[in-house]
Amino acid sequence: MKPSVPAFLRKGRTRKGSDKPHEKAIGFLLLLCALVSVGTTISIILVLVNDGIFNFVGEKAFFQQVSLKQFLFDSKWLPDSPEPRFGIWPLVNGTFMVSGIACMIGVPLGLCSAVYLSEYAGPAERSVLKPVLELLAGVPTVVYGYFGLVFVTPYVLKPLFETLLGFEVDTFNVASGGIVVGIMVTPMVASMSEDVLRSVPRSLRDASYALGGTQFDVSMRVVVPAALSGILASVLLAFARAIGETMAVTIACGTFRRIGVNPFESMQTMTGFIVDASFGEDDAQGIVVKSAFAVALSLFLITLTINVISQMILRRYREVYE
Amino acid sequence: MSSESISNVPPSVKGVDRDKDMSSHPINVESKGVNFWYGDNQVLFDVSLQVPERSVTAFIGPSGCGKSTFLRCLNRMNDLIEGTRITGELQIEGQDINAKDVDVVLLRKHVGMVFQKSTPFPKSIFDNVAYGPRIAGQRNRAYLADLVESCLRQAALWDEVKDRLQDSAMALSGGQQQRLCIARTLATKPKIILMDEPASALDPASTSRIEDLIGELCNEYTIIIVTHNMQQASRVSHQTAFFFEGKLIELARTTQIFTNPKQKQTEDYITGRFG
Amino acid sequence: MRRRLLLSSSFRLICRVAVYSAILVLVTLLSVVLWLAMERLTLQFFQRGFSLIPDRAGIKAGIWGSFWLISLTAIFSLPVGIGAAVYLEEYASDTRLTRLIKVNLSNLAGVPSIVYGMLGLTVFVRMFGMFGRGIQLNLLSGWLVVPLPFGKSVIAGALTMSLLILPVVIITTQEALRAVPGTIRTASLALGATRWQTIWSQILPASLPGITTGAILAISRAIGETAPLIMVGAVTYCRICPGGIESVQTLLTDPQRVLAAPFDKYTAMPISIYGWITSGPPFMSVAAAGIVVLLFVLTCFNGIAVYIRQRARNKLKW
């Protein structure tokens, strides 16, 4: 037998794989790709701060021209009038009205669908229903806005509330926006809740049946309460999504800025204003555009907070069950 | 030494002559005082052994005794786990494999491994076997075709698959997949083949085919096999190493260790007192 | 006991109604849209661009604009997204940086799309106002003219959309990579492959169906997005097809126009639809026609994704 000289003595130490230069270069390139996402967040913050709070380039940011006190406590939002007013409340009012109605519709619908899909539906039914729900989620928001304007208001809201009950329903109103956004978030609530319900261990269900429970007992008295924090997290996420929704509310809700609770009136939301402000507005340095950035900053902070809370709840829920 | 009778050693598989004198064979694998840690947990204590060229060595011992861990040290697969640490000398063909200038990629071509659960790639049978040479840079189609055929023959799989080399490897049976994995390992032209419980997931017929295969391969390759099946160890190996709680308790010729073990712990394990 | 059973079955009925009413809504929506669009869906609709007269309105500019926008978005977002996912799944160890990236990703996925629009406006369209009135870079000896800042051009829109769908691409690719069993990696490394060889030869091919499905779904999301595009200046009332390319023939035979197209003004299908909706009642049926085209394109994309997913599921049983 000829004595073999092992070929594995070469330059290049490694622990996890060959240390050839191009391997390292590839790893570095991929790291850069991953850092793009971090860069995006930093850019978002920079951009919003730049035009909202503290400008870097020599223009004047929004809060360098308007006091925070006025922003938070004034009751009217009229940045484009000759006597501008900058109270954010009308816009916040509109946003929360829409999101509130959306959740009132989307959460029960989504939850019940989730319960049905995870506890009652057979595999054949589920294989039809789940794709349909996904389709609902895939419809673009402009289409929902159109649907709200062209169908929900004249053929659902007006006959029901105006003719029958005597309320006055504007052409552009918060209710129709809220309803279509509610439909939009239903699939989201449904799929998240279904995941959450599914991760409740079988043993809990079996124990409940063994004690003589009906299906209602098992789902509503045992499984749902066990999954409650997870469901709460999905509701919060849906709320955040509704807050950030733009096109459907811009189309269906109108541009009137007011503080009020009548869902049949027209109310502009924060997102609606941002679209309104940038439409055709070419003066990037004008106060109107800057006010849009201030609104966007508030929007970003609100949705970020809700998302973070929701994720914290979800993480705690997962720790319990997995 | 006890007065209890130890079960008769079963006959060896064809090709393995357990009484063959290995002293003329150079030592292929040698470990001196190897210690190994997973994080803060030490799992191998001062393991020293020698494996002669073209022999079959079996590692036996109860679960968790460190035999698979030690096996994985030999081709540095433990490097893939974070927080592992090794001290002591581990030599393959006289070279320390943990030295700074060792290319692990080439080491793994030289020391092949067959796993407990067969893991064919989701590609064709041909591409599975050709994978090793291809990533080493081999492009010549004729050469690859010849190599694939020779490896499949050595793995006793050629006759069953020669007409369907382009079919997916996932369609093979469990025993066939494991032989395919062996052929795949052979394609990198290793000198040493490590087997980690290669037949434990297979039915008895496939198991005996794998054992026959070991008997054929040991004429060309050095084989180290980890097994929890003592009958299997006694059938296929020239020498056997008994591990217990991270220490090498006894290393001896197979015929001797199963009839007349020197250590009490070895005897207890073999007679089934534990493990 | 009977009352409990009654409660149970009526509850079941309620849930059933909930699910099926969602379906009812979908069906209603589609029917309404189709009904309103009927009269407008003629061949001329596809051949005409913008017009102030409803009868002469068409979606051609919208289709071409969307084509350029989505192509560029795919080119930017898919490699970066897949690369990031490969890094996070195959290379990254559990360090603070890795955890930061992962948390950041889930937060980004929840940011409203209009905020991305503001990002695009400042970073790509205006570039923070760094270039004053704007300069022009002449590259490739005049063949490629790049305006800085990008202004209200296709490329600004595409970059914005890429950032928008990047988290989706990364997350779906991560899931596809995770579905590949670890034993494949181990076996490949044991045969003497390097980490990148293992990724390129084994893991990426094995996870390709999942990655493709995720990519297609992310792209279809981008097709329907409107708000960020409004912010970065997609023109609502627009007749222009980017680069002046109005037929497939021009696309294939005129490279100079192809190079100019990304820097041109543009519109997109959802933007055209929005423009029609805000133009008042006479345009409502035109908007409906636009919606039908948009939904058709989306259905095709999603159909391809579903098909790929089904075929992969049948072929690869781990």
Identity of the residue in A34, A37, A296 whose CB atom sits nearest the CB atom of C115: A296
Residue A89 and residue A286: Cα distance in Å, rounded?
Answer: 21
Q: Cβ distance A283 to A116 under 8 Å?
A: no
Q: Which chain B residues contact residue C192 at CB under 8 A?
A: 105-109, 132, 135-136, 188
Q: Looking at the structure, tell me whether residues C9 and C136 fall in a common domain.
A: no
* β-bridge mates for residue B168, sequence order: B124
Residue A280 pLDDT > 60, yes or no? no
Question: Helix %, strand %, coil % for chain B, to 5?
Answer: 35, 25, 40
pLDDT confidence of residue A51: 82
| Contact between B80 and A16 using a beta-carbon 8 Å cutoff | yes
Q: Which chain A residues contact residue C18 at CB under 8 A?
A: 108-109, 112-113, 116
Residue C268 and residue C152: Cα distance in Å, rounded?
Answer: 13
pLDDT confidence of residue A96: 93
Provide the whole-model pTM: 0.87
pLDDT confidence of residue C297: 92
Instruction: Tell me the percentage of chain C whose pLDDT exceeds 70.
Output: 96
Distance of CA B114 to the CA centre of its chain: 7
Q: Give helix B174-186 / helix B141-154 axis angle, nearest 10°.
A: 130
Average pLDDT for residues C134-158, to the nearest whole number? 80
Residue listed under structure tokens 């469990």: B174
Is C192 touching B (CB cutoff 8 A)? yes
Q: Which chain A residues contact residue B27 at CB under 8 A?
A: none
Average pLDDT for residues A147-151, to the nearest whole number? 90
- When pLDDT is cut at 50, 70 and 90, the band that residue B6 belongs to is low
B244 or A21, which is more confident? B244
Please, is B205 exposed, middle or buried when counting C-beta atoms within 10 Å of its C-beta (0-12, 13-18, 19+)? exposed
Residue A39 and residue A50: Cα distance in Å, rounded?
Answer: 16
Residue A178 pLDDT > 70, yes or no? yes
Average pLDDT for residues C152-166, to the nearest whole number? 92
Residue C243 pLDDT > 60, yes or no? yes
pLDDT confidence of residue A15: 41
A209 or B226, which is more confident? B226
Q: Which chain C residues contact residue B121 at CB under 8 A?
A: 184, 187-188, 202
Give the range with max mean pLDDT: A159-168, B250-259, C168-177.
C168-177
Residue C224 and residue C232: Cα distance in Å, rounded?
Answer: 15
Residue B45 in 3-state DSSP?
strand
Q: Cβ distance A185 to A106 under 8 Å?
A: yes
Residue A10 pLDDT > 60, yes or no? no
Residue A235 and residue A189: Cα distance in Å, rounded?
Answer: 6
What Rg value do the Cα atoms of chain C yield, rounded?
A: 24
Q: Looking at the structure, tell me whether residues C112 and C12 fall in a common domain.
A: no
Q: Which chain C residues contact residue A149 at CB under 8 A?
A: 277
Q: Looking at the structure, tell me whether residues C121 and C90 fall in a common domain.
A: yes
pLDDT confidence of residue B11: 84
Distance of CA A263 to the CA centre of its chain: 21
pLDDT confidence of residue B68: 92
- Judge: domain B27-117+190-270, CATH 3.40.50.300: yes
| Contact between B105 and C93 using a beta-carbon 8 Å cutoff | no
| Contact between B104 and A11 using a beta-carbon 8 Å cutoff | no
- When pLDDT is cut at 50, 70 and 90, the band that residue A281 belongs to is low
Domain locations in chain B as residue ranges: 27-117+190-270
Provide the strand spans (E) within B39-160: 41-52, 56-60, 84-92, 95-96, 111-114
pLDDT confidence of residue A9: 54
| Contact between B105 and C194 using a beta-carbon 8 Å cutoff | yes
Q: Cβ distance A200 to A226 under 8 Å?
A: yes
| Contact between B110 and A8 using a beta-carbon 8 Å cutoff | yes
Please, is B117 exposed, middle or buried when counting C-beta atoms within 10 Å of its C-beta (0-12, 13-18, 19+)? middle
Nearest-by-CA chain A residue for B192: A6
pLDDT in tens, A14-37: 444 445 678 888 989 999 999 999
What mean pLDDT is reported for chain B? 88
Residue A1 pLDDT > 60, yes or no? no
- Taking only residues 90 to 109 of chain B, the set having a beta carbon closer than 8 angstroms to any beta carbon of chain C reads 105-109
- When pLDDT is cut at 50, 70 and 90, the band that residue C40 belongs to is confident
Residue C225 pLDDT > 70, yes or no? yes
Identity of the residue in B93, B97, B106 whose CB atom sits nearest the CB atom of A10: B106
Residue B263 pLDDT > 60, yes or no? yes
Distance of CA C228 to the CA centre of its chain: 12
Is C187 touching B (CB cutoff 8 A)? yes
- What's the domain count of chain C? 2
Q: Which of B180, C29, C173, C281 is nearest to A180 (CA)?
A: C29
Nearest-by-CA chain B residue for A9: B102
Alpha-helix runs per DSSP H in chain A = 21-52, 68-73, 89-115, 123-138, 141-147, 174-198, 202-210, 215-216, 224-226, 228-244, 247-253, 270-278, 287-321
Average pLDDT for residues C51-63, to the nearest whole number? 78
Q: What is the 3-state secondary structure (H, E, C) of C157-168?
A: HHHHHHHHHHHH
Q: Looking at the structure, tell me whether residues C118 and C89 fall in a common domain.
A: yes
pLDDT in tens, C256-273: 777 777 888 888 899 989
Average pLDDT for residues A184-196, to the nearest whole number? 89
pLDDT confidence of residue A67: 79
Q: Which chain B residues contact residue C184 at CB under 8 A?
A: 119, 121-122
Average pLDDT for residues A10-15, to the nearest whole number? 43
pLDDT in tens, C60-108: 888 888 999 999 999 999 999 999 999 999 888 888 888 889 889 988 9
Range of the domain at C12: 1-37
**Neighbours of C (≥3 Cβ pairs closer than 8 A)?**
A, B
Residue B74 and residue B90: Cα distance in Å, rounded?
Answer: 8
Average pLDDT for residues C148-155, to the nearest whole number? 84
b/e sequence A176-194, b meaning 16+ C-beta within 10 Å? bbbbbbbbbbbbbbbbbbb
pLDDT confidence of residue A283: 59
- Taking only residues 140 to 199 of chain C, the set having a beta carbon closer than 8 angstroms to any beta carbon of chain A reads 163, 166-167, 170, 189, 194-196
Average pLDDT for residues B232-257, to the nearest whole number? 91
What is the sign, positive or negative, of the torsion defined by CA atoms of A195, A197, A200, A203?
Answer: negative
Is B22 touching A (CB cutoff 8 A)? no
Identity of the residue in B82, B170, B188 whose CB atom sits nearest the CB atom of C191: B188
Residue listed under structure tokens 């809740």: A193
pLDDT confidence of residue A14: 42
Residue type at A128 in one-letter notation: V
Give the range with max mean pLDDT: A8-22, B3-17, C213-227.
C213-227
Q: Cβ distance A180 to A144 under 8 Å?
A: yes
**Cα-flanking dihedrals φ and ψ of residue B62, to 5°?**
-70, 165
pLDDT confidence of residue A124: 86
Residue A5 pLDDT > 60, yes or no? no
Nearest 5 degrees, angle CA C309-CA C314-CA C318? 100
| Contact between B119 and C184 using a beta-carbon 8 Å cutoff | yes
Q: Cβ distance A60 to C132 under 8 Å?
A: no
pLDDT in tens, B63-113: 888 999 999 999 999 988 888 999 999 999 888 898 888 888 889 999 999
Identity of the residue in B80, B97, B103 whose CB atom sits nearest the CB atom of A12: B103
Residue B160 pLDDT > 60, yes or no? yes
- When pLDDT is cut at 50, 70 and 90, the band that residue A38 belongs to is very high
- Identify from B77, B108, B131, B147 which residue to disrupt to test chain C contact, counting C C-beta atoms within 10 A and taking the largest count: B131
Nearest 5 degrees, angle CA A97-CA A103-CA A107? 170
- When pLDDT is cut at 50, 70 and 90, the band that residue B4 belongs to is very low
Residue C158 and residue C166: Cα distance in Å, rounded?
Answer: 12
Q: Looking at the structure, tell me whether residues C237 and C198 fall in a common domain.
A: yes
Give how far C303 is from chain A: nearest CA, Å.
11
Half-sphere exposure of residue C290: CA atoms within 13 angstroms, side-chain side: 33
| CATH code, C214 | 1.10.3720.10
pLDDT confidence of residue C186: 92
- When pLDDT is cut at 50, 70 and 90, the band that residue C152 belongs to is confident
Q: Cβ distance A298 to A270 under 8 Å?
A: yes
A286 or A18, which is more confident? A286
Residue A68 pLDDT > 90, yes or no? no
- Identify from A133, A139, A180 which residue to disrupt to test chain C contact, counting C C-beta atoms within 10 A and taking the largest count: A139
pLDDT confidence of residue A16: 42
Q: Looking at the structure, tell me whether residues C56 and C205 fall in a common domain.
A: yes
Q: Looking at the structure, tell me whether residues C83 and C223 fall in a common domain.
A: yes
Residue A293 pLDDT > 80, yes or no? yes
What mean pLDDT is reported for chain A? 83
DSSP tag of C296: H
